[in-house]
Amino acid sequence: MSIDPIEFRHLAMPHTERGMVVGLFGGSFNPPHHGHALVAEIALRRLKLDQLWWMVTPGNPLKSTSGLAPLSKRLALSEEMAADPRIKVTAFEKQLGTSYTAKTLDYVKARNHDVHFVWIMGADNLKNFHHWQRWHHIASTFPIAVIDRPGATLSYLSSKMARTFDYARIDESDAGTLWKRKAPAWTFIHGPRSPLSSTALREAGNA
Ligand SMILES: Nc1ncnc2c1ncn2[C@@H]1O[C@H](COP(=O)(O)OP(=O)(O)OP(=O)(O)O)[C@@H](O)[C@H]1O
Ligand SMILES: O=C(O)c1ccc[n+]([C@@H]2O[C@H](COP(=O)([O-])O)[C@@H](O)[C@H]2O)c1
């Protein structure tokens, strides 16, 4: 079976240089939207990132794959959405053969010495983070930045992850230093919010 050329171009892990600060932004991007672009922009600025990897997952392990557009389509649309040259759209998890973040982070860490990584996710994912495979391990691998999202603003108070790692939360005014903290360390970033979601776009027939 031949591999789609768009998919093929995105299978390698992006290149890094020693000392870089890199944000890892995983998602289904089914389809990508301006809410994702806003998260990327906020993360680049507030976390003082050199790069942001826009990691298009083969499939979120907690979501049904019915209605999931082909990886090549989600990659092509992500490239259109991610205009900043510091953003690297990638599907290296496909090559790695996993959708589990714990495994991905172990792989990234083992292959990028002297590079500083921060895991980035929207506040809705903070709410169900304790259902992710080896979530304690994820939180102990890289610092985590949670970006506010309508409907999930108070998750930093109520979620199991927030309560478990309360001792490791830093104030968002220090978000620019998150990358140099030893995990577990995390912050919740407030700022401009977007009400957009892929679900709403699919339901409106825009996907
Ligand atoms: N509007 C938004 N504001 C903040 N974070 C967001 C927003 N939309 C998506 N995210 C975050 O971006 C990442 C990728 O999200 P995803 O691709 O699942 O989009 P989604 O809109 O949440 O999709 P769906 O509606 O299909 O669940 C996740 O960490 C999610 O929390
Ligand atoms: O590792 C897990 O158990 C796990 C469970 C749910 C989601 N994730 C990852 O979290 C990222 C966000 O997923 P999504 O679908 O909310 O965009 C994406 O990279 C998923 O692979 C990972």
Closest residue by Cα to atom 10, ligand 1, is 122
pLDDT computed for residue 196 by the predictor: 97
pLDDT computed for residue 207 by the predictor: 65
Q: Which amino acid is at 29?
A: F
ipTM beyond cut 0.85 = yes
Q: Give this prediction's pTM.
A: 0.98
Low-confidence ranges of the chain (pLDDT < 70): 1, 206-207
Ligand nearest to the CA of 58: 2
pLDDT computed for residue 155 by the predictor: 73
Ligand nearest to the CA of 90: 2
Query: Which run of H or E residues covers position 104?
Result: helix 101-111
**Domains of the chain, earliest start first:** 15-203 (3.40.50.620)
Among 82, 80, 85, 81, residue whose Cα is nearest residue 50 = 85
Q: Which residues of 147-162 are buried (b: 16+ CB within 10 A; e: fewer)?
A: bbbeebeebbeebebb
pLDDT computed for residue 1 by the predictor: 62
CA of 26 to the centre of ligand 2 (A): 7
CA of 17 to the centre of ligand 2 (A): 26
Residue pLDDT, tens place only, 106-122: 999 999 999 999 999 99
pLDDT computed for residue 69 by the predictor: 97
| Cis peptide upstream of residue 184 (ω within 30 degrees of 0) | yes
Q: Is the CB of 65 under 6 A from ligand 1?
A: no
CA–CA separation, 147 and 193 (whole Å): 9
> Do 68 and 37 form a contact (C-beta atoms < 8 A)?
no
